[in-house]
Amino acid sequence: MRDPAPPSPTIAQLQGHSLARLVHHEIEQMILDGRLQPGAKLTESTLAEQLGVSRGPVRECFRLLEEAGLVRTEKNRGVFVRDLPIDEALEIFEVRAVMDLYVGRKVAQTAGSADVRELRQCVDAMDQAAREVDPQAYHRLNLQFHDRLLLLAGNAKLTATYRKLVKELSLLRRQNLSAASMLAFAREHRQIVKAIASGDADAAGQAMYTHVMNSRELTRSKFAAASPAVSASTEARPQGRRGA
């Protein structure tokens, strides 16, 4: 029996791309899950051995992660998980709040009964995770909830931008997940779904905006308490309704 023919250059290239995507997904998840903490040094050889691959896909992964704002490269020192500056984090929250205002309004106008039922089930699961003080489960469900709203809004460009911002905020968001804050955020999620179910676009958009700005304020206050030198520019901003 003849030996199988070697894969064509095109197939070999596709296989290489698939491996690179798998490596990128795995290392990215290590960062987003907190297995690789901000400030941790990433070593090509160590990660390649851990994942059972060559160093090439890991090196390509580092490039993509740097473009996504999740790692930084320091000359003559190496690659490190990025420590997101508080000023930048607060700016991201503000951008997200405006995007979520749109998402809430759009979903309230288009969501069907099955969509609302799915959102309620996710909120119920988040509420359970909050009561069990399980921040890892809560964080995962929270990402699922907001990502589902994005998909229901049906704007691919917004979804891509939003997901990038969420990944950057994941570098510090888990610090906000105390027993009290998880319960408070779960209540806010329930209010969002209630507004969406009623078809009230204004209420849904406002609920989404306020939810993100409340998270921003919690982040700001935690950093301010830990570092009194936090600049006045990070002070909380009004969270009421904005003008048209």
Query: What class is the 86-234 domain?
Result: mainly alpha
Count the helices and strands in the chain (H runs, E runs): 9, 3
Cβ-Cβ contacts under 8 Å for 15 (sequence gap 6 or more): 7
Q: Where are the domains of the chain?
A: 9-81, 86-234
Query: What class is the 9-81 domain?
Result: mainly alpha
Whether the pTM exceeds 0.85: the reply is: no
> Rounded to an integer, what distance in angstroms lies between the CA atom of residue 165 and that of residue 32?
12
With CA atoms as reference, report the closest residue to 201 among 103, 113, 122, 120. Answer: 103
Q: Residue 129 in contact with residue 182, Cβ under 8 Å?
A: yes
The pLDDT score that the predictor gives to residue 34 is: 83
The pLDDT score that the predictor gives to residue 17 is: 61
> Rounded to an integer, what distance in angstroms lies between the CA atom of residue 107 and that of residue 201?
8
The pLDDT score that the predictor gives to residue 171 is: 85
The pLDDT score that the predictor gives to residue 136 is: 86
> Rounded to an integer, what distance in angstroms lies between the CA atom of residue 5 and that of residue 11?
12
> Rounded to an integer, what distance in angstroms lies between the CA atom of residue 46 and that of residue 34?
18
> Rounded to an integer, what distance in angstroms lies between the CA atom of residue 27 and that of residue 65?
9
The pLDDT score that the predictor gives to residue 27 is: 94
The pLDDT score that the predictor gives to residue 238 is: 45
The pLDDT score that the predictor gives to residue 174 is: 64
CA 73 to chain centre: 22
State which residues of the chain have pLDDT below 50: 1, 7-14, 230-234, 236-244
C-alpha R_g of the chain: 21
